[in-house]
Structure 1
Amino acid sequence: MSTYRFEALLRPRSIAFAGAGAREGSLGRAVLENLRAAGFPGPLWPVNPRHDTVDGIPCVPSVADLAAAPDLVVIAAPPAAVPEIVAEAGRKGAGAAVILTADLGEAPGDAGPQARALGRRYGLRLLGPNSIGLAVPGAKLNASLLARAPAPGDLALVSQSGTIASGIVEWAARRDVGFSAVLSLGRACDVDVADCLDHFASDLGTRAILLCLKTVPDARKFMSAARAAARAKPVVVLRTGRHEAAPRRIETHTGALAKPDAVYRAAFRRAGLLAVEDLDEMFSAVETLGRQRPFPGKRLAILTNGRGIGVLAADRLADRGGTLAEITPAPGLGPGTALGPEAGPGNPVDLGIDADAAAYETALAPLLADRANDAVLAIHVPTARSDGTAVAAAIAGTVRRAQAASGRRKPVFAVSLGEDAAATRLLTEAGIPRFATDSDAVEGFLHLVHYREAQDDLMRTPDSLPRDFAPDVEAARAIVARALKQGATWLDPLGVADLLKAYDIPSVPLTLAPDIDAAASAAWPILAQGGTVALKVVSPDIVHKSDIGGVRLDLTSEADVREAARAILARARRERPEARITGFAVQPMVRKGRRRELIAGLAEDPTFGPVVVFGRGGTAVEVIDDRALGLPPLDLALASELIARTRVARRLAAYRDVPAADTRAVALVLVKLAQLAADLPQVRELDINPLLADASGAVALDARVMICRDPRKPGRPARGRGHPRFAIRPYPVEWERTMMLKGRRILVRPVRPEDEGMFRAFFQSVSEEDLRLRFFSPVREFSHAFLVRLTQLDYARAIAFVAIDVETGAMLGAVRLHADANHESGEYAILIRSDRKGTGLGYALMRLMIDWARAEGIRRVEGSVLAENRPMLAVCRRLGFTVHPDREDMGVMKVALAMA
């Protein structure tokens, strides 16, 4: 339901409190006191059948007895009474309810599911149950159990845990950090993290969002909301329970590497969220985001009155992957000095233990003006000759003067060792984050750096895939279907080889031999050419062949092959007597040489579905644990970033006399695996280990594939349209069309991220007048950021169809539709190349866009058209749109189409 009726939840005009009480220490009393202390300006109606008044306020026995419908109902009643209160609130016309009551149960027939069903029946939004409530300081609303009312501010805090939310509010109160809202979700039977992300992403009063969560109930909904929110403002996420065991049986190396926390972190990274590991890091992020805005660059200058503490900060920066700025000498301050006689050379800049306020002012001013750094960390260690309050005043004053002089504010972070309330106040008033330690300050600086890097990643345009990459999907599906028909859980080696071939993933040739004699015969052609043989046991019951000695290498004769086969059979029967042995895989021996051993594959996560795994390969892959994970779908940019996050990526570069491996070939393998996951939902896990890579490319030496008949098992419900297992909706290939218009063959397909260059060329071919009609003002330049927003879509929320001339490859036009957060209405826009107007292309694109909206369940398509754009208005009327003037601008016509 997303942001539906959020106004009633967060900005209510009236509140009813079911369960309000006067007993000291009771839940109803505590929340009522908080509501009254916050100064809520609207009517507050206690509801309690056992009292006539509560705390001096007249009380009614039930919500049904209220004289008017409240916007918000707060519920602190016994569990059994909650469903009926929800029903009464819905019938009365309330918009939302906060359920503070715990222990409602989750089994069918329990109070929890009953309340949820009744809330949905009446369109009543529910926060909770087991919530400690919510607070919106700007609305003077505190319907919570928070020990302290949060101060007004521009940070939104959304937490599944009430205690963590309370702890952050307590911490923030001591540092004058305020909130636009604080929500405790509890068990989240209705309002969830994704709903809150959608709301606060567009909330003008919220500058950053803080999330505390343990689980994500709906991965696709969460990822869609998170990606949209992260493009709008910083989102910091802390996940609890990071080291809990995976709730599934591990079958492959990739499955073992895809631990739940690693998958969550991959999801957060893909969405552009800033993940932190503990409350200290969260507090550091809160301190930073509460005072500073994200900035470009990552070079930090450190100013300190102690060399030791400055070096500690520099060490911490290096440990965390930060960049120490080069200090530019200030002119006229003398040779051999960086900033003047007070400062030692280099970075950190050491002012000396006796540095006073004047020394800090003299040194800080040129650092703020220096373009060679992007931010400054000022550290002060109190001494008998250096007053912390005076130094803080000097830092604050210098920052203000620099901003007034230049019109720009360079980020400044401050460390003041020791408790100095006056110094903290001065820094806070100047908007400078103040930290207790150098380590916390460096973390705060890096939070903003990493956020900016995440934004840059979201805006990056991927390389185009090779034009000749066209997987044989039908052949791949037939391979899997045959194996499933035979009752197999694992593809046999020939099936695996054929599957890799269908996706153009190079692999070592393989012959399947049913017995010892056949293995020797299969080995002979390899041996006759001077090669050696690798022999592997084939069994649907033995996943890791090396564990039972089921692999023999470097066999040089038929006798060696026979002896190795007998030894493999003997050991397999001894160690795995129940295993079915179906034969042997015979392959030419591949020398590792200068090739790097990698692992690549697919794993299945119970929350986020398929996950692409990459890392260092070999038999010790799980011990080494050098891996990175990514959620499909992948493009080459995402795949390359996935590779770069591993330690083994450094070995892929050239070193000594070893040439660099072809990392693009490795990245392409990962992209192909992601596509395989989309095409073949029956593939549950896939291991390529090792994947050998060198300058000539990448080749799969060994692989295994686990399949199942029902890809949603175990316990995975289908989610939304498109691929049911993907947390991120993949490219909707099913919407590709070919049509004939005026004798020309036109390909119409959804827009892809790599289309940026095509869009740039298209806009250059459109007349200035047509651009004005589309964008409502003259447009001369199209920036990278603008084009990225047009080409990098969340297919769960938006679609854009591009029309391409098949003969020339030129873009002829595009139409797009962006749905609202509730997926009820969408706003469209369309632009046709000037020389293609009047060919029927605009009408055809509009029809396709409407078909997509109808298939998505969108109820209403809307748009704004300049009144002078008569051809577009005529197309809209022909398609059944209503047309009426915009009340706020008579030069604009509003068009709308209700879906049947």
Structure 2
Amino acid sequence: MTAEITALLADGDMVTVRLLREDDFDVVVDLHRRLDERDRYLRFFTAHPAGLEHLTRLVLEGPGLGAFRGDDLLGVAHYRVQSEGDTAEVALTVDGSAQAHGVGTLLLEHLVSLALGKGIRRFLALVLAENSRMVRVFSDLGLPCVISHTGPERDVEIQLGEPETYLERIEERERIADVASLRAVLEPASVAVVGAGRREGSVGRAVLRNLVDSGYSGELHVVNPSATEILGVPAVPQISSLPGPVDLVVICVPAEAVPGVVEECGRHGVRAIVLVTAGLTGTPLGERVRESVRGHGIRLVGPNCFGVANTASSVRFDTTFAHGVAPPGRIGVVTQSGGFGIALLDSLSALGLGVSTLVSTGDKYDVSGNDLLRWWRRDENTDIAVLYLESFGNPKKFSRLARALAREKPVVAIRGAGTAAAQRAAAAHTSARATPAATKGALFGQAGALVVDSVTEVVGLLAALSWQPLPAGDRVVVVSNAGGAAVLGAEACTRHGLRAPELSADTVAGLRRLLPGHATVGNPLDTSAAVTAETFAACVSAVLADDAVDAVIAAGVPTGVGDPLAALKPPEQGKPVLAVRLGQLESVTAHAGVPCYGDVEEAAVIMAKLAVRSLWLKKAEGVIPDLDDTDLVTAARLVDEYLAAHPDGGWLSRKDSEEFVGCFGIRSTGRRFGDTELIVRAQIDETFGPVIVLGLGGLDEALLDDRATALCPLTTAGVDGLMDGLRSAHLLFGDGDGSVDKAAVRNLLLRVSRMVESSPEVVDVDLDPVLASPEGAAVGAARVLVRRRPHSDPYLRALR
């Protein structure tokens, strides 16, 4: 683990977890001495243990971890390796005043991570039977645990690893702690603004104006040494003059003054800060801010952000400097771009939509998109989540969190910087690390997020998600009173992956009774320009009633007869309808509860995303399968032997590379003419972890550049998504002549994923070509690059 990690307890308090050092001897001894008689008995099996100094020495030699709040040691955990080598005895001690807040569980999680990095695979512990709290800490951890149930003592055996149950328990504990700490940010009982003056046009005054106008019902203060009140809000000269602790402080002062204000906040017991000021990142000022908020246990939004808002009736507060108060609604928004957030608020307001919560994260020193994903998971005021993220601090956590939320509520993600120029702009804007477009796309896709590229597109999608049900599938009929619009709409639907079903005979007969003889009855349906609004609406209803139809795009052109959309109403069949009024200047408007777009292309794009979500929800989650024919011992030996001879790492020989991949059940073969050539590559991204690329090989690679990307670990659902992501997937894996064995390719990809997940020293695997045929798949050539890498645990509970 790193030198120290900041994490949250169950009640939202912040602690630092770090390896204990020799100079911690006195504080560890003091911790043991502070235990009351009962706790000493439960920990040492006697109320008056002899040799506390010796016991402390064992903790320090451990290795041991300590949880600190400031300089106060709240608890320690350590293990001692047994003779078996992969087994260790573990012990915990928590100060009486800190018990029942999750200190022991947090320490144990970090100790498990530390032990796994050292090759430990089993923990043993001896606990008094009456020490029910400690027994519960072990049993509730989420790891396979066996506890004896005879005699006055309990033998505890814990198998270490990262099973799904353990990761789910960690996530839930982190969610509880995170939400508790975020209440000071999103549901503050008191707010103070630093930097609001009398002058109109300043950022601080705009923030205060929105706070006043939002109807915030909590305590509101201004810190300004030159005023007694501003906008009717009482002012005090400095933070220390505030009457009692304050939950949230909004700072809008020049960059050079920020560290001093933040330190004042810490000394006054402030729980959270929204730091609007820019110009801190990459400077000593920014580092001072980071140190100060961590030292005082403060949650921080920003710097370089445009504020936070919560429109819930129980809170009603807005600390943004937008030109008006955020409109209330059911959409949660987290954005690194203040400009995007302001534009989105304006667009939603024009449609009668609004936000539940909005957080502008700016340079993301602390609060990030992951925090908001946890908040929205249980927030009854949020139905849809919108994310504009230019960087990812912990993509693996993001993927799990977003996927869990997307199973309950739609998650909409703005794709953001994809080109080199855009990535340079993002880096200058919020110091965001460049993320390859394919990697970001894989992250969003595996998380079940609906990806859009512009404010216009996100607003159009939000309107559809807010006002229409999801389609049962991807079968869409275009109904129009203009033949050209009908054709363009059908073409757009096909281009975006939607299917055009045939209408049933009964539906066709019913439509012919409604329409004039020159109308074109089919899909698309051209009603002709002469129909009334009532007839047009009846046609839409008739099509929706067809069991072969999942959704309708109703495109109308106003004529001298009237507006064909005038009688259109929200569908009663539980199927979505998207309207199009050709020539409409606005990209999307509200029409009697139906979103109405200005072009059939826009409607087709939105309908396709609704269908994608519907189909994604129906798919099984997928699991990481157990794979046979794996020889982890030999694989580790090959890597260790090479690194012993080449400490800086390098490529294994061809023979060793083939033997290494063979340890994971991947067979090699000579070149076979007539087979389809694929390439499979797995590389380590320092932020995203192992990334797998599947593509066409040989001549097809040069001509078509058809590739798909996925993040590890691959599940049974994720591997299918990777293969289906190829443009040529229907040709490669179809049932016709020339298709390849999809099951064999799927099996190979799952084994590559297992390979890079279980071998952290492997940083690049290049299988080129992979020779695939209807009879199977084998590797023509394999290359493996290895290098020593520090152990990392993306699922460990830790703040940024």
Q: Common fold, TM-score beyond 0.5?
A: yes
- Are the aligned partners of 1:327 and 1:338 in contact in 2 as well (CA < 8 Å)? no
Q: How does the TM-score come out when normalised to structure 2?
A: 0.71
1:614-669 deviations in whole A, cap 9, x for unaligned?
Answer: 110126736632111111222444323321221343343468754x4222111111
Within 2, Cα distance between the matches of 1:78 and 1:420?
A: 42
Q: Which residue of 1 aligns with 2:580?
A: 415
Residue 259 of structure 1, CA deviation:
7.7
Aligned mate of 1:613, from 656, 681, 693: 693
1:61 alignment partner AA: P
- Are the aligned partners of 1:287 and 1:434 in contact in 2 as well (CA < 8 Å)? no
Aligned mate of 1:395, from 568, 575, 578: 568
Task: Note if 1:115 corresponds to 2:280.
Answer: no
Q: Secondary structure at the match of 1:146?
A: coil
Within 2, Cα distance between the matches of 1:479 and 1:22?
A: 71
1:435-476 deviations in whole A, cap 9, x for unaligned?
Answer: 1111111112112111122223353578x656xx23111111
Q: How does the TM-score come out when normalised to structure 1?
A: 0.64
- Are the aligned partners of 1:662 and 1:697 in contact in 2 as well (CA < 8 Å)? yes
Alignment of 1:529-608 (within 5 A): 590-593=671-674, 595-608=675-688
1:120 alignment partner AA: R
Alignment of 1:692-841 (within 5 A): 692-710=771-789, 718-720=792-794
- Are the aligned partners of 2:507 and 2:546 in contact in 1 as well (CA < 8 Å)? no
- Are the aligned partners of 1:338 and 1:345 in contact in 2 as well (CA < 8 Å)? no
1:448 alignment partner AA: L
Aligned mate of 2:412, from 197, 211, 236: 236
1:226-246 deviations in whole A, cap 9, x for unaligned?
Answer: 122112211011132212389
1:111 alignment partner AA: L
Aligned mate of 1:69, from 242, 245, 252: 245
Q: Secondary structure at the match of 1:629?
A: strand
Task: Note if 1:449 corresponds to 2:622.
Answer: no
Q: Which moved more, 1:641-650 or 1:490-499?
A: 641-650
1:243-302 deviations in whole A, cap 9, x for unaligned?
Answer: 23899xxxxxxxxxx981111111111111112233332232222223224342221122
Within 1, Cα distance between the matches of 2:607 and 2:631?
A: 49
- Indicate how the Cα distance of structure 1 residues 11 and 339 shifts in structure 2: closer, same or farther if over 3 A, else same: farther
2:180 alignment partner AA: Y
Q: Which residue of 2 aligns with 1:482?
A: 641
1:503-522 deviations in whole A, cap 9, x for unaligned?
Answer: 221113xxxxxxxxxxxxxx
- Are the aligned partners of 2:556 and 2:563 in contact in 1 as well (CA < 8 Å)? no
Q: Secondary structure at the match of 2:684?
A: strand
CA RMSD, Structure 1 to Structure 2 (Å): 2.9
Q: Which residue of 2 aligns with 1:264?
A: 440
1:376 alignment partner AA: V
Q: Secondary structure at the match of 2:236?
A: coil
- Indicate how the Cα distance of structure 1 residues 655 and 676 shifts in structure 2: closer, same or farther if over 3 A, else same: closer
Residue 50 of structure 1, CA deviation:
2.7
- Are the aligned partners of 1:379 and 1:416 in contact in 2 as well (CA < 8 Å)? yes
- Indicate how the Cα distance of structure 1 residues 64 and 439 shifts in structure 2: closer, same or farther if over 3 A, else same: same
Q: Which residue of 1 aligns with 2:100?
A: none
1:599 alignment partner AA: I
Aligned mate of 1:85, from 225, 238, 261: 261
Task: Note if 1:167 corresponds to 2:167.
Answer: no
- Are the aligned partners of 1:301 and 1:324 in contact in 2 as well (CA < 8 Å)? yes
Q: Secondary structure at the match of 1:395?
A: coil
- Indicate how the Cα distance of structure 1 residues 126 and 653 shifts in structure 2: closer, same or farther if over 3 A, else same: closer
Within 1, Cα distance between the matches of 2:422 and 2:231?
A: 50
1:613 alignment partner AA: V
- Indicate how the Cα distance of structure 1 residues 601 and 246 shifts in structure 2: closer, same or farther if over 3 A, else same: farther
Task: Note if 1:664 corresponds to 2:743.
Answer: yes
- Are the aligned partners of 2:472 and 2:614 in contact in 1 as well (CA < 8 Å)? yes
Residue 338 of structure 1, CA deviation:
8.2
Q: Which residue of 1 aligns with 2:311?
A: 137
1:787-830 deviations in whole A, cap 9, x for unaligned?
Answer: xxxxxxxxx7xxxxxxxxxxxxxxxxxxxxxxxxx799xxxxxx
Residue 354 of structure 1, CA deviation:
2.4
Within 2, Cα distance between the matches of 1:315 and 1:331?
A: 22
Task: Note if 1:432 corresponds to 2:611.
Answer: no
Residue 215 of structure 1, CA deviation:
0.8
Structure index of larger Rg: 1
1:561-591 deviations in whole A, cap 9, x for unaligned?
Answer: xxxxxxxxxxxxxxxxxxxxxxxxxxx6x33
1:104-135 deviations in whole A, cap 9, x for unaligned?
Answer: 2335xx23232233223333221111001122
1:130 alignment partner AA: N
Q: Which residue of 1 aligns with 2:555?
A: 379
Within 1, Cα distance between the matches of 2:451 and 2:734?
A: 32
- Indicate how the Cα distance of structure 1 residues 648 and 691 shifts in structure 2: closer, same or farther if over 3 A, else same: farther
- Are the aligned partners of 2:223 and 2:237 in contact in 1 as well (CA < 8 Å)? yes
Within 2, Cα distance between the matches of 1:186 and 1:37?
A: 24
Task: Note if 1:201 corresponds to 2:377.
Answer: yes
Alignment of 1:222-301 (within 5 A): 222-244=398-420, 260-301=436-477
Aligned mate of 1:126, from 286, 293, 300: 300
1:46-81 deviations in whole A, cap 9, x for unaligned?
Answer: 101232332343310112101132322111112232
1:732-766 deviations in whole A, cap 9, x for unaligned?
Answer: xxxxxxxxxxxxxxxxxxxxxxxxxxxxxxxxxxx
Within 2, Cα distance between the matches of 1:33 and 1:337?
A: 61
1:417 alignment partner AA: L
Q: Secondary structure at the match of 1:324?
A: coil
- Indicate how the Cα distance of structure 1 residues 374 and 261 shifts in structure 2: closer, same or farther if over 3 A, else same: same
1:395 alignment partner AA: L
Q: Which residue of 2 aligns with 1:845?
A: none
Q: Secondary structure at the match of 2:407?
A: helix
- Are the aligned partners of 1:333 and 1:341 in contact in 2 as well (CA < 8 Å)? no
Within 1, Cα distance between the matches of 2:422 and 2:512?
A: 58
Alignment of 1:207-222 (within 5 A): 207-222=383-398
Aligned length: 609
Q: Which residue of 2 aligns with 1:151?
A: 327
1:646 alignment partner AA: L
Within 2, Cα distance between the matches of 1:374 and 1:246?
A: 38
Q: Which residue of 1 aligns with 2:652?
A: 491
- Are the aligned partners of 1:337 and 1:343 in contact in 2 as well (CA < 8 Å)? no
- Are the aligned partners of 2:383 and 2:410 in contact in 1 as well (CA < 8 Å)? yes
- Are the aligned partners of 1:131 and 1:187 in contact in 2 as well (CA < 8 Å)? yes
Q: Which residue of 1 aligns with 2:364?
A: 188
1:416 alignment partner AA: R
- Are the aligned partners of 1:636 and 1:668 in contact in 2 as well (CA < 8 Å)? no
Within 2, Cα distance between the matches of 1:651 and 1:410?
A: 32
- Are the aligned partners of 1:601 and 1:612 in contact in 2 as well (CA < 8 Å)? yes
- Are the aligned partners of 2:622 and 2:718 in contact in 1 as well (CA < 8 Å)? no
Within 2, Cα distance between the matches of 1:36 and 1:62?
A: 20
Q: Which moved more, 1:72-81 or 1:612-621?
A: 612-621
Q: Which residue of 2 aligns with 1:528?
A: none
1:186 alignment partner AA: G
What runs of 5+ residues in structure 2 fail to find an aligned partner? 1-7, 9-177, 424-433
Q: Which moved more, 1:336-345 or 1:412-421?
A: 336-345
Residue 693 of structure 1, CA deviation:
0.8
- Are the aligned partners of 1:70 and 1:94 in contact in 2 as well (CA < 8 Å)? yes
